[in-house]
Each structure stands twice: as structure tokens, then as C-alpha cells.
Structure 1
Amino acid sequence: MSHTSLLYPLLYCAFMSLGSVNGQLVAADVLASQYSLATSTSLAFPSATQSNSDTQSFLVSNWGLSKGRIQNGASDLQFVNDPFANDPAPGASSNPDVSGPVLQVTYPNGSYSHDTGGAQLYSLWNASDSSFLSMMVSYEIAFDSGFDWVQGGKLPGLRGGPNPDGCSGGSNATDGSDCFSTRLMWRKQGEGEIYAYIPTSNGICKENDIICNSDFGTSIDRGAFSFASGQWNRITLLVQLNNPVNVANGFVSLYYNDVHAISQDKLQLRSSDVVTAGGLYLSTFFGGSDYSWATPQTTHTYFRNFRLWGSSSPSNLTGSKVSAANKLSSVESRVRLLFLPWIPFAAVFCAAGVL
């Protein structure tokens, strides 16, 4: 047998071995141990279903909400019976309390953005003076059977910093001085991504897996996995803040159903020491900022088993120092978006002698 004929099966075996390593199941608590996230907690759920008003009272009393309030969509939250009680989420993690109530979020027909449907709250784990510099959240989410994804929508993640209302909602891209947020998004056909409000430093917008918007968040690895409707899905999201604050060595990683899906390093998630990891950012709605994102029918998501792990240690990865030139990138992007569409018209006017 020739050396060439031996090479192909060897390459095939090596490829299959690599695939099995990348696709191996890693339970959330094992992952927490690997990253030395020694402190952990779980968010409380009631033992029985509740009305909307009782649900609001329970969340305010038990979830340590920022400013003691549900930010948006309080009327769209309710603890209900699990619609998929006999369907544990795939993966290696345990499924505690799968028989209890789950948190239902309603998206009314025609709703889009956080002030027309869905809900938003910030659950502070360790009060506003959190010393966590690394944090991981794991939770399970189910979408109604036949869920219409439309163009996309927001899903829970992590956030931090002294500003509990920034870094979301279509505000200008953050400079990292008072907050960060790392939510998830579903996109068309249920494609998933990490959707972050962080500085876009050191040319990160040029990377293949990054999509930057001048006035909105940054999409990380869109389509790396896809959500399934009519069943439970498990999300595990790790965030390690950059340190020192002028070095882009921050790190995010996401596991879907306990299988690794996304990793992104070389991030500047903060530009000030006042920004630490604060807790769960339960922010979910269709959109998007216009009606093209709206759900055509009233629909729901369901959540259970919110668990958090934390550490006072930031990322220890290497990274490049952030230069002053990079801090102008978001302004430069806005200028380009403002003037680029007019360049063809200007060329016509110049040719005609108008300009």
C-alpha cells in the first residue's frame, strides 16, 4: 500500500478526533471549576404558579433587582406551569427543579423593542459594588412550538458597571467607562449570537466573526449555533473582563446545550476600573427598533434554572494596549454612515458642474 493511500484515512481519523473534542459535552459546574469561578448562586423560583401581580412582587423581593424595580414589561411576566415539563434540556448539566413553575415572557402581537413587549430587568448578584471581574450565567430557555423568529430578538445575558440603564436599547455604542452588556440574540431561523455593548477597540470590527454597528451593539459569531423551538435549550455564557482596563485582553465564551459554540478574545469590555460584572441582565424582546422586527402573533418564551458563578480574577490572557486612535472608531463609523450614502450623488453633481 502506498504512503498516499495511507495518508487519507489518517487525515480522516485526525479530523474526526478533533471534531469529537470540540463537540464534547461540558456541564456548567465543570466549566465553572475550569475557570476557577468558586462563588455561585441560583435565582429563586416559587413552588407554585403565580398571577402577574404576584410574579412582580416575587421578583422584586427575591431577585435583587437594580433600583428595586422591573425596568420594562412587568405586565408580560408570569410564573406558569412548564409547557415542556417532560423535555429536559440536552447536555451534561443537571436539571434541578424541572417539575416546578417556569418564568413566562409574553410578546404581544405586533410588539417590538423593549417598551412594546417582552421584559427587561437587571438582577444584581452582589449589590452595586460588585467585586466580580469574571462571571458566568447558565439558564434554560424554551420558545413556543412553531415560534416565528421574524428578524430577531434579544435574550438574557450578563452586564455590569455603575450605570444600570446604559449599554442597551439602541443608545450610542459604549466607550466602556460606566457599563458593559453581553446579551444574546436570536436571528432569522433561530440563529444565535452574543450581542455586546462594548468598545470596538484595536480594529476588532475587521474580524470575520464580528459585525459592528455605529449606534447599536456588536454581534459576535452570528450563526455559530441555532435555537430550537418547542423544547428546552441551555445557554452558558462566560465573561472575563479585561485587565488592566487599557488592554484588550477580555474574553467571552458561550456553550449551547453544553457544547462549545463561541469564543472571542482580545476584547476591551471596559475602560474604567469602576466597571465590574454585576449580574444577570434579563432583557428579551423582538427587535430591533422598527415594525419590521415585530412578532405577527402573541407568543412566549420560558425560562428556568438561572445559575451564576463568579470570581474576583479578571482575564489573564494576553492582549494589546488600546491606542487613542482606536477610541475614535465609533465616531468614525458614524461619520462614514452619515456621508457614504451621498458620495454617488456628489459625484454626479460634480460631473455636472453643480458642485
Structure 2
Amino acid sequence: MAQQTMLLIGTRKGLFIADSANRSDWALRGPYCETWPVNHAIADPKTGTIYAGGGNEWFGPAVWKSTDQGKSWTHSSAGLSYGEGEPPIKAVWSLALGPDGALYAGVDPAGLFRSTDGGESWEHVPGLRDHPTRPHWMPGGAGLILHSLLVHPEDPNRLWVGISSAGVFYSGDGGKSWEPRNKGTRADYNPEDQRYPEFGQCVHSLVMAAGAPDILYQQNHCGMYRSEDGGQSWTSIEQGLPSSFGFPAAAHPRETGTLFLLPLNGDIAGRYVPDAKVAVYRSRDGGRNWQALRAGLPQENAFVGVLRQALTTDRQSPAGIYFGTSGGQLYASPDEGENWRCVAPHLPVIVSLETLSLDG
């Protein structure tokens, strides 16, 4: 049966949706969510319900919801607060669904919330902010944000989060308690004798391998890493890449060892693609070897960046790969990165991408 692909495009000026029946011709609609900044949008593959999280210091935080593929929307911020006298929450930065149907939201300043009623109301999961290292967490360039959020696909008690710039933390009890999981990841900005601290690393992106929840990949401010034990230890896999710096990573939907990256040229060198030539890098063996995929992508004067959640895949075969740039260009590949085409050239700054496949 033919499948329709929906791209959920979070931007600084609302959520856009791109639809395609063949992954070649795309129809763009939006902006939705009253043009609020949308940092991340996801869809429930079982129901098709779309959730979009965002906000800023002016609007406040909220999660938007559509049960009719984007035709109409509601939103709620009920419960998205640390309480009276605590710092106000500026925005929702990441969303994830658990296998038990719970919806999670990561926010700025860094913390975790859970909803058990489809985003209508939220409850703070306090264990993370109560962690003894919390007073020492330092904000990254975008603030102290919980931007990466993974839930084990079978066990809702197992959670991983990435916080800039506190590092990766893990909970095995549904968020009641947490432990840092940063062993082996560098913090090059620290003094030489403090390059591998327990926490304080600036994680940029955290993704889970298909079919192997304890295999994680991490793009860090200071390198690219793989873990085979749920983040208890990390191994560098940056050899063969043009840079140790970048923001986004995306795992293949079925192949455990296949990973996609879009490196940038460095933290103080402009934060655009190396040599101003766009390439997505693909590994088929868990990061041991890398291949640059460039066909159809700009190869001169492309001074663009790609943000941490703006690279994703769909679940079709072959997998489609998508990324959006800081300049508002949306690129799509229907064949796992072998060939690329710009399918929307003039969007606002693209902050995030996710997909939903529907039988059509």
C-alpha cells in the first residue's frame, strides 16, 4: 500500500507541514500554532496526533496538539511551571512519547515534565532538578536546555536526556533518580586535567539505534561518540569526519549500525558546513567508517548551519532522509542520502524535523 509522508517542520515562526505521496512532489502548508516559535514537533504513529512544543520568554511555554493532521489546533501550558518563587519556564524544547502512552517534555531552564492525558496537563518530574549536581550546571550557547529526550521503546521507566551543557543523564525508575552518563566524552573547553568530568559536557544531540535501545549515538560539542551500554561509557567515532563539531544526528529506522550526521566546521570557525560545501555523512558500521553524500547539495558558497533537531528520517524503504538549514532551506532524499533535492527554499529558520508515515 502506498504511504503518504508528512514532514513536521518546527521553525522560529510556527509549524509547517510538507505532504508527499511519492517523496518526490511536496505540498507545503502552514504556518500553524499561531506562528509561535516551535522547537520540536512529533506525531503519534498509532493515532496520527501531532504535538508541537515551543514558546519563548514573551509567549511562555506550551504544547500544541492536532488530532486532524494539522487542520485545527489546541494548546496547553497547564502545569508547565516549577512553582512559585522558582525560575519561569521559557519554552518547551523537546517532546517524546513513551511506550505506555505518556508524553514527555524537556524545557528551558532544564527540567522534565510528563503528561498522561495527551498534553492537556503536565506534571513536573522533579528528580532531575533535584540532582545534587544541579547547582553546578552551566548553560550552553542557547541556554540551559533539555533538548534531547529518549524513552526506551519497551520500558517507560528507562529515560535518557541530553542537557546543554550539563551532559547526558539516565534514569531507570521513571525519573525519580538520575545518574550522569558521560564517561569517555571530552570537555575540551576545560583545563587539561579536567577534560573528562563526571558532568558538564556540552551534548548537542542524542539518538538511539534501531532495535538496540542500549546503543546510543551522541554528537557533542567536542566530538562524536557511540555507546553500547546505554551511555555508561562512550567511544569516539569522529575519525573520518571533517570536523569533531556539529549539532544534528539521526539513526536509521531499521539498521542498528547506520547513522547520519551533518558536521559543521567548528565552534569558533563560523558554525557552517565545512568548506561551505553541504554534505550529509553516513556510516553503515556504527561510526567506524564514514561516507560523504553530496549529490544534489550545494557545493560552493553554502554558508549554512543545521541545528540539533533539524535532521531526521522516515520509516519507509529505502529510508527517506531530511534536513533543514538555518537559512530556511529544506532538503529531502528518498534513497538514504544518495540523491538530494531542495523541496522548500524559503522557510524561516528551521529548528526541528520529524516525520509521520500514513497509509494512503
TM-score, normalization by structure 1 = 0.32
Higher helix fraction (1 or 2): 1
The structure showing larger relative contact order (alpha-carbon pairs under 8 Å, at least 6 residues apart) is 1
Higher strand fraction (1 or 2): 2
